[in-house]
A and B are shown apart, each in its own frame.
Chain A
């Protein structure tokens, strides 16, 4: 269970409050206008933004003061998810140990993760030699190896075409089911939310609304969502 307990994120000209709970194993979309603070919220959960007030708890344990790498979290950013100068294999090794050690057992697990994400035999390549979709797959393969209970996606597939994006979301679902991870995904595309997320959190006007079942939300959109969708 992820709890944002009276969380306040603030910087000059910006303020976001969150007091919500997300059940373990949920697949949650974060929807809202640009500039509302969706990415800031994810970066706070991942440990890159220090909250002004409030706590972040995972399974009842306060993780607010933990450094990013020690949180039970894997985050995929919009870009720069792989080190461009390291091979895919080395990039994945960093998901197994923070020292990036690569022994026989590690190699086998990496090869397995590559195979399961459709990247068989590409371990020796550098990220620059992969297509955009393959880079996304490599980042997901590393998430698979890290197997942290919380998977945060900050629109990592926004630059991909619709078909490729749908493929990626299916892969995310597989990875999440396999690792039992709770997924929080920022998106600006309502289709992504409907296709992928069983619950959706709305971020608008300085507030994070409690997660609501996605279909129910779209069937009867609150004013803020209606304004965002432009449906009238």
Chain B
């Protein structure tokens, strides 16, 4: 079809959103680059780059390798609680990082379960702080993500291939070589690179478990340069390095995505062969170990925090209220912006590729790089403390947008191809179309995306650290303050509130979406 009369209306809203996104990502980098001329990277800056890449590579490799046996076991075994375990694997993405860290400290920390055990055996205590602690936390946070990505790969192998393998009586080894290995070759690099990119820009883990000359990431170095050394030009130089790192990772990721070439099946439901004997025991062990590794720290945190719930530190509820407000405003902004972009991109209006790129840019951005840019650009206008909450909202909204957008895009495309034509043929008014067609059809991804945004924003411990003072801390920053003064039980109790609020916000928006769609 040559062109469609209805598609000629220019997408003003989407263009505005795209411009804002470019400003928040590339604009802040431009500001940072302009300032960075004043200072060349020094030896400690390069050490930070090396540490950042090392910890991200180790975290990604470990998450990817450990995910293979776990995902394979989950793909071919059926057991009670399997569905619940897979759902649980989605939770760490929404889990506030500081909560995960406190959970790990409850097991592996100085006064944790593991060190108490070592002491009983007369062995020396080990410290969780440093490279291994950072990697441990990153594997804890990203192993589930990698597992779910690989599990999708396993489930995407058409049942017909396994049926054929069975009829040819392939051994499990041969089946792995011919079917599963080619799937892994296609999906594992993507999973590893995703984890690598996430770990490159991870700030809260380094802030809590890293530090010192030997374990400082670039993001952490930016924070220290701005907050303690008052050296904006050095922060700017570091921010340029960080942006270059993230951009490289995202660009490599773009070129790495490829198809396993299985073709499509007819959607037959044939279970994957589940070999007996030692393989069964090995699968069981992989599932038990993964479940234990993911659940024990949180259980230990609950045990530690539950005692402190009766005596919550002063100021915590104010911080909670502040965090919830930030999360709600962020959610409204991100969801609205993602909807405008996805509808415009889905209609394939002129320049729809620009919208796609604008919605992907935040993946290459990082909290502290944007924060540094905004700090430098706005410091003549307002005090850092005044800017703290608006800047946090803006940064959170920008960083969460790609997720919301990616969730909406396929549905927006389907909407355009199917029902938009009918809506046009009936001459429905814009409001009727939005209310009767767009909203009900997109309610599910809208609700899910809003839930993810709210939870991510609620648990974020990133840019707020650059700006906030005592009197306007969000809940994660408040908990970080408690950790800093070694009030670990209070921190554990507050982090239970944080975890509960984050998941409650997610569940609330997700449920609203399902309700409207039903």
Residues on A facing B (Cβ under 8 Å): 9-11, 40, 43, 46-50, 52, 67-70, 73-75, 77, 80-83, 85-86, 90, 94-95, 98-100, 146
Which chain A residues border B436 with CB–CB below 8 Å?
Answer: 83, 86, 90, 94, 100
Bound-state CA distance A184–B432 (Å) is: 29
B336 adjacent to chain A (CB < 8 Å):
no
Identify the stretch in B228-236, B382-390, B420-428 within 8 Å (CB) of chain A at 4 or more residues. B420-428
Identify the stretch in B3-11, B275-283, B289-297, B353-361 within 8 Å (CB) of chain A at 4 or more residues. B3-11
- Please determine whether A49 and B1 come into contact, CB atoms closer than 8 angstroms: yes
Closest residue to A49 on the B side, CB-wise? B1
Additional pairs, 11, CB under 8 Å, beyond known A80-B421, A98-B426? A48-B424, A49-B2, A52-B2, A67-B5, A67-B427, A69-B425, A69-B427, A75-B425, A77-B425, A98-B427, A99-B429
Which chain B residues border A70 with CB–CB below 8 Å?
Answer: 427
B254 adjacent to chain A (CB < 8 Å):
no
Shortest distance from the beta carbon of B97 to any chain A beta carbon, whole Å: 38
Which chain A residues border B431 with CB–CB below 8 Å?
Answer: 99
Instruction: Given A69-B428, A99-B429, answer yes or no on A80-B1 (Cβ-Cβ < 8 Å).
Output: no
- Please determine whether B421 and A48 come into contact, CB atoms closer than 8 angstroms: yes
Which chain B residues border A10 with CB–CB below 8 Å?
Answer: 2
Shortest distance from the beta carbon of B367 to any chain A beta carbon, whole Å: 38
Which chain B residues border A47 with CB–CB below 8 Å?
Answer: 5, 424
- Please determine whether B428 and A68 come into contact, CB atoms closer than 8 angstroms: no
Which chain B residues border A9 with CB–CB below 8 Å?
Answer: 2
- Please determine whether A69 and B426 come into contact, CB atoms closer than 8 angstroms: yes
Shortest distance from the beta carbon of A78 to any chain B beta carbon, whole Å: 11
Residues 1-42 of chain B, each 1 if its beta carbon lies under 8 Å from chain A, else 0: 111111000000000000000000000000000000000000
Bound-state CA distance A46–B425 (Å) is: 7
Which chain B residues border A73 with CB–CB below 8 Å?
Answer: 425
- Please determine whether A11 and B427 come into contact, CB atoms closer than 8 angstroms: no
Closest 6 CB pairs of A and B: A69-B427, A99-B432, A68-B424, A98-B428, A11-B2, A80-B418
Closest residue to B427 on the A side, CB-wise? A69
Which chain B residues border A50 with CB–CB below 8 Å?
Answer: 2-5
B437 adjacent to chain A (CB < 8 Å):
yes
Closest residue to A47 on the B side, CB-wise? B5
Of the residues A75, A100, A146, contact of B428 by C-beta under 8 Å: A100
Bound-state CA distance A9–B393 (Å) is: 50
Of the residues A43, A68, A81, contact of B427 by C-beta under 8 Å: A68
15 A-B residue pairs with Cβ-Cβ distance under 8 Å, sorted by A, are A9-B2, A10-B2, A11-B1, A47-B5, A48-B424, A49-B4, A50-B3, A50-B5, A70-B427, A75-B425, A82-B422, A83-B422, A94-B432, A98-B432, A99-B428
B440 adjacent to chain A (CB < 8 Å):
yes
Of the residues B2, B6, B421, B432, contact of A67 by C-beta under 8 Å: B6
Instruction: Given A98-B432, A99-B431, A100-B428, answer yes or no on A80-B5 (Cβ-Cβ < 8 Å).
Output: no
- Please determine whether B2 and A69 come into contact, CB atoms closer than 8 angstroms: no
- Please determine whether B432 and A80 come into contact, CB atoms closer than 8 angstroms: no
Instruction: Given A50-B2, A50-B5, answer yes or no on A98-B422 (Cβ-Cβ < 8 Å).
Output: no
Instruction: Given A11-B2, A48-B4, A49-B2, answer yes or no on A94-B441 (Cβ-Cβ < 8 Å).
Output: no
Bound-state CA distance A69–B424 (Å) is: 5
Shortest distance from the beta carbon of B162 to any chain A beta carbon, whole Å: 31
> Interface range on chain B: under 10, 10 to 19, 20 to 34, or 35 or more?
20 to 34
Closest residue to B436 on the A side, CB-wise? A100
Shortest distance from the beta carbon of B501 to any chain A beta carbon, whole Å: 32
Of the residues A11, A52, A98, contact of B429 by C-beta under 8 Å: A98
B419 adjacent to chain A (CB < 8 Å):
yes
Which chain A residues border B2 with CB–CB below 8 Å?
Answer: 9-11, 49-50, 52
B-side binding surface: helix, strand, loop or mixed? helix
Bound-state CA distance A81–B423 (Å) is: 10
Residues 391 to 436 of chain B near chain A (Cβ within 8 Å): 418-419, 421-422, 424-429, 431-432, 436
Shortest distance from the beta carbon of A64 to any chain B beta carbon, whole Å: 10
Closest residue to A64 on the B side, CB-wise? B5
Which chain A residues border B3 with CB–CB below 8 Å?
Answer: 50
Which chain A residues border B429 with CB–CB below 8 Å?
Answer: 98-99
Which chain A residues border B437 with CB–CB below 8 Å?
Answer: 83
Closest residue to A80 on the B side, CB-wise? B418
Shortest distance from the beta carbon of B443 to any chain A beta carbon, whole Å: 9
Closest residue to B426 on the A side, CB-wise? A94
Bound-state CA distance A23–B13 (Å) is: 45
Which chain A residues border B419 with CB–CB below 8 Å?
Answer: 80, 83
- Please determine whether A77 and B422 come into contact, CB atoms closer than 8 angstroms: yes
* Best-surrounded residue of B6, B418, B427 (most CB of chain A within 10 A): B427
Which chain B residues border A83 with CB–CB below 8 Å?
Answer: 419, 422, 436-437
Bound-state CA distance A9–B431 (Å) is: 32
Bound-state CA distance A48–B440 (Å) is: 24
Which chain B residues border A90 with CB–CB below 8 Å?
Answer: 436
- Please determine whether A67 and B424 come into contact, CB atoms closer than 8 angstroms: yes
- Please determine whether A80 and B422 come into contact, CB atoms closer than 8 angstroms: yes
Closest residue to A94 on the B side, CB-wise? B426
Shortest distance from the beta carbon of B431 to any chain A beta carbon, whole Å: 7
Which chain A residues border B418 with CB–CB below 8 Å?
Answer: 80
Bound-state CA distance A95–B436 (Å) is: 14
Shortest distance from the beta carbon of A202 to any chain B beta carbon, whole Å: 22
Shortest distance from the beta carbon of B425 to any chain A beta carbon, whole Å: 5
Bound-state CA distance A99–B434 (Å) is: 10
Shortest distance from the beta carbon of A153 to any chain B beta carbon, whole Å: 13
Bound-state CA distance A75–B440 (Å) is: 24
Shortest distance from the beta carbon of B340 to any chain A beta carbon, whole Å: 21
Bound-state CA distance A9–B418 (Å) is: 23
Closest residue to B420 on the A side, CB-wise? A80
Closest residue to A99 on the B side, CB-wise? B432
Which chain B residues border A100 with CB–CB below 8 Å?
Answer: 428, 432, 436
Instruction: Given A43-B1, A50-B3, A52-B2, answer yes or no on A68-B441 (Cβ-Cβ < 8 Å).
Output: no
- Please determine whether B421 and A77 come into contact, CB atoms closer than 8 angstroms: yes
- Please determine whether B441 and A85 come into contact, CB atoms closer than 8 angstroms: yes
Bound-state CA distance A40–B437 (Å) is: 25
Which chain B residues border A98 with CB–CB below 8 Å?
Answer: 426-429, 432
Which chain A residues border B517 with CB–CB below 8 Å?
Answer: 85
Which chain B residues border A86 with CB–CB below 8 Å?
Answer: 436, 440
